[in-house]
Each structure stands twice: as C-alpha cells, then as structure tokens.
Structure 1
C-alpha cells in the first residue's frame, strides 16, 4: 500500500491536476516541484508573509475540461526557518479527510474546506488579480469590465472618470499585456493617470513581468513627481510596486536609487513598498546598504525598523544579503544603534 505523504499527492490521487499560486506577496505561479519540496520541508516557502505561506490551489479534472476548476485558498504557519510546520499540514489533512473520506473526488472537493481553520478568503483586490490571471491562463474571456477599462486607458472616457472603472477590469488589462495592444495602451496612459488609478494599475502590475516600455514610463512618472517641490508619496509608492517585476532591473534599481537619495524615502510607506514588493532590488549591495541607512532614520521609529528587518531576514531571497549588511563595518553610528536595539528586542531585553 502506498503511503500518501503530502497534500499534493492526496489531491492528485483523485485524478485531479493541480496548479499552485502564491497569494501573499504577489499573485504568482509556484512550480510544482518547488511546492512539493516545501511540503516535504526540503526548502522554505519562497515568498512568506507574516511568517505564513499564503497560496491558492487550482484543482481541475482533466476528464471534464468543460467544468471550471475549483480554487482553494490556504495558509500554513511556518517555522523559524520559513519551512512548513508539519503539524499544521497534518491537521489540515485531518479536516480534509474527515470531509472527503480517504479518496478525494470532484464533487466532494467543492465544499471540502468549509470550516477548515487553514482556509482563508483573499481581499477583493487579490481575488481580482487572481481571476484575471487564471482566465488568461485558461484562455477564457476577460470579465465584463475589461472593455470599459481598455476604453479608459485609451483616454476615451476622460482621466477623471476613473471611479467608474471596476478593479477587475484593470486587473484584466494588467494580466493581458500580451494581448489587444494593452502594453502600448498602458504605456501611453501612465503620464496622464491621476494618482488613484495609477496606484490601482501598479498594484496589478506588481504581479506581472512588465516590458521595458511600461517600466520606462512608470519610472519617468515617478521621477517627475520626485523632482517636484512636494513629491506625491502615493505616486512614488505606486511606481515602486509597479516596477517591481520589470524586465529591465536597471530601470527599477535606478528609480529606487534616486528615491533613496531624497529625504522623502524616510517615509514608512515607501520603505515598506521597497521591502514588501521590490525586495529583489536589495540584492544590489549599494542599494541594500543605503536602504538600511534610510530605514534606520524612518519616520515611524524603532518598532517599524524591527518589523521590516525581521521580514527581510525571514525572506529567503534577502536573508543572506541582509545578514552580510548587518555586519558591515562601514555602517553609520545611527544604523549600528538601531541594529543593536533590534537584537535587544529579539532577545527580549
């Protein structure tokens, strides 16, 4: 008798196919082999948020392709190394088996997570992005808001009419940059968008790999604001997020570099945007050191510094580099002071 060791194996044993998506820091695909390795505690969860793994499982029945797939939204707590707490996964499986029996089937799966303590409901904005990406992947039509959103980004409705554009329509445009002229449409609109629709657009774009042309337009919009007498923090934060997955890392990093040169980068919302959405920029040694210096001088104080640093030390992509920077002998006295206070806090002193 074969022992089923993972949630993946259990679901696939019922003949269903699985697709894995992160739902925490970004809405992005997770390769099956990475998720299975995470389940086996061979690797930490790649994109932890609040020391938890937030992810979606898309379950489809290959024998019934005409039926829409089922979606499960699950969160698992992680240990100090960012790896799965097996006790949580096992408890989840216990609830699942109680609901389904030992052999999962399509009909039973649809209500299987009712009252499961590890299920969660994403925010509406995250759901919009997830469904936009899912329908694009499945080659299904976009939502009924899509055409209206395209007309808005063409400038046909007037830039001040953004409140009538559904978030789902903007998410559909962002998920379909490879279709219907959307890359050019979005690029042309960026200089004219009011701050609020620009922010929504960038929150959607942070989940997509964007082209050079869109990245350049975003960077120029951000620099234009940065060079004003009173820069618009809403625009700057949006641009950081929108640029986070630029194909041209140099555009993203150059913008963040100039942002860190400006006193406004002491704002907690801008520092959080860099750490939470554009953390790859901190792989650059110079940007990372300068970011930490700004973080030490942040407007919100020591508690904010502690939270951001804890997050970056927990994130696998930044952990090693941050540890190197914390030992940097050339750090300023202020940074040394707040780092010392951080470790005192960790030790409970």
Structure 2
C-alpha cells in the first residue's frame, strides 16, 4: 500500500480490511456514516460541528477476522474560511499513517493504536474521553461497565453506597445507557426523590456526563434549578442543558443568564458557544456577542477574545448566515458596535 494509491482516510481503513465508525467530536458527540465522513474529509461537505477552526473526529476501527480488539484514533483537521477541510493537511496526515503503518492495521498490530507523532492527533480531556467511551459502547451495542451498577445503586439508596467508589467512567456509562434501561422511570423517579442526599461531586459529574444526551424532563428541570446557586453559575449544569435541538425553555434560561453580570466570565461564555449553538436564535446570538464584547473590553483583550468567538461561531454551517447578518446590522449596542468595528479594522490589516 503506497501513499500515492490512497486518496482518503476512509479508503485507507477499507484497504486495511477494517470496519470503522467515525464520530464527530467538535461540539457534540455525533456518529457520522461513512459517506458523510468521506464527503467531509474530501472537502465536498462542511464539517457540521467545527470548533476552533478544526473538524474533530474520533475514529473507531476493528478487524473481525483478526480479533475483537477495537482501536481509536483522535484526529483534528484544519478548516478553511468556509468551514471545509483543508485537503493538503488531510493528505499530509495520510502520508504519515501510510508510511508508518502500511498494511499493519489489517494485521492487528499494536502500531494501529499508536499513531506516529503528527500535528493532527489530539488527546481528549478526561471528561470528554469518558463520554466518548460510553457513547461508543452505546452506539456499537457493546456492554457497559459493571461499575455502572454502582451508580444505579447509589441513585436508589445514597445512604448505603459510598459515592467515592464511583468512577467518572461508570457515571458516563450509566448516563448513556439510561434511556434504554428497563427500569428507566423508576431510576428517574429515585433521582428526583433523593437528589438532596447526593454528594455535590457526584451531581456535578452526573450532569457533566449528560451533556451529549437528551435529559429526561425531570432531570432537565433539576439542571435548570441548579444552574445558578448562591450567586454563582454551575458549569456542569450549563453543560448538562446542552441539546441537539432548539428548546425555547433552555433558550430563555440562557438569555436571562447572559443578561446578568455573573455571566461575564470566559469559562461560561466558552461553554455556551461550544455547547449551546443550537439555541442561538437572533436574540441569544446578539446577547452572547454583546457579553463577549464587554468581557473583551473589561479584560483588555483588544478585540482578540471577541474575534475568537465570532470566528468560531461563523464557521458553524447553520449559524453562518445569521452571524454575518448580525455583523452588518446597524442596531447594536455601543459595546457591540465597537467590537464589530475592531473586527473590521483587524480584517483590513
């Protein structure tokens, strides 16, 4: 197998005799079918959930003929200004893996798991990795960890189970299997009944591990109640309220939050930009950018922070037109108008 004969990552995996599943890891964990991924990596389709001017993927592959071992690559590919994968960088990545691995993936070699040093690999943080592992197991119908049973036991009887023996991975596994659990209603009911008895550490972990699933309505209500406690904002609750569809209820909560001084923090703005783009109607988008402009000015970023958020949001395909329309509107507040003027000035340099 030579680099010249392979034209895509998809083709490499097929030639190597593997089956594979690609997951978009940009803003939500989302499975991509093989044609979607091929179109994205070939630059004929936009990356649907770009982040920081890159498309982020987790690629799980295996060879049934060799063993049951599953391998994972985490790769990020740069995007151009339109949000399409830069073909030259994808080809460079291909050269690296073909030169290093050849046919070794089909031979079930240990090399398949460890890619050679390259600028396109990334290591997910502990939280995202736990969610990814659970999401993969659920998608590929693999058994969840036995420790997930400890989570169920703690939810049902928090007085009898030591929460410190519960791992982040077991919480992620439990959360991702919750909707298909045979005692789903009873577990949700127990959670809502006992929530005052749970450790704050457990609750924060539970909510954070829920950011890539649809929450039961009762638990969504709990997350909203927990969003602001004692004048502070719970980032885990903010993450848990992430949704893959527009929700007027969540949208209203975010607008109200962004209109408060407490939201003038980079970490809060970062979570909203990364996880709540589905909620960004015209009102929320303008309120968000206005708050970003105020934080930029207050912290002396000279437009860099605002520009970063703007560049990030404008690359999301479903937001691009909306963001550009807002850019050219003439009805902004003074702080937002100033931020846009700085943006124009930077573009002219």
TM-score (norm. length: structure 2): 0.85
2:221 matched residue in structure 1: 216
Is 1:297–2:298 an aligned residue pair? no
Alpha carbons of structure 1 residues 198 and 327: separation in structure 2 relative to 1, 3 Å: farther
2:95 and 2:113 map into 1 onto residues whose CA distance is 12
After TM superposition, the structure 1 = structure 2 runs for residues 1-349 of structure 1, keeping only pairs within 5 Å, are 4-63=6-65, 67-101=68-102, 105-108=106-109, 110-111=111-112, 113-117=114-118, 118-157=120-159, 162-178=163-179, 179-182=181-184, 185=187, 188-189=190-191, 191-192=195-196, 193=198, 195-222=200-227, 225=228, 230-233=230-233, 235=234, 237-245=235-243, 249-282=247-280, 284-298=281-295, 300-301=299-300, 302-348=303-349
Alpha carbons of structure 1 residues 8 and 147: separation in structure 2 relative to 1, 3 Å: same
1:216 and 1:167 map into 2 onto residues whose CA distance is 23
Q: CA deviation at 1:176?
A: 0.8
Number of corresponding residues: 337
Contact persistence 1:19–1:58 (CA under 8 A): yes
Q: Which moved more, 1:242-251 or 1:28-37?
A: 242-251
Q: Which runs of 4+ in 1 moved over 4 A?
A: none
Contact persistence 2:208–2:237 (CA under 8 A): no
2:13 and 2:110 map into 1 onto residues whose CA distance is 9
2:164 and 2:305 map into 1 onto residues whose CA distance is 33
- Structure 1 unmatched runs, 5+: none
Three-state SS of the structure 1 residue aligned to 2:203 is: helix
Q: CA RMSD in A?
A: 2.8
Three-state SS of the structure 2 residue aligned to 1:317 is: coil
Alpha carbons of structure 1 residues 79 and 339: separation in structure 2 relative to 1, 3 Å: same
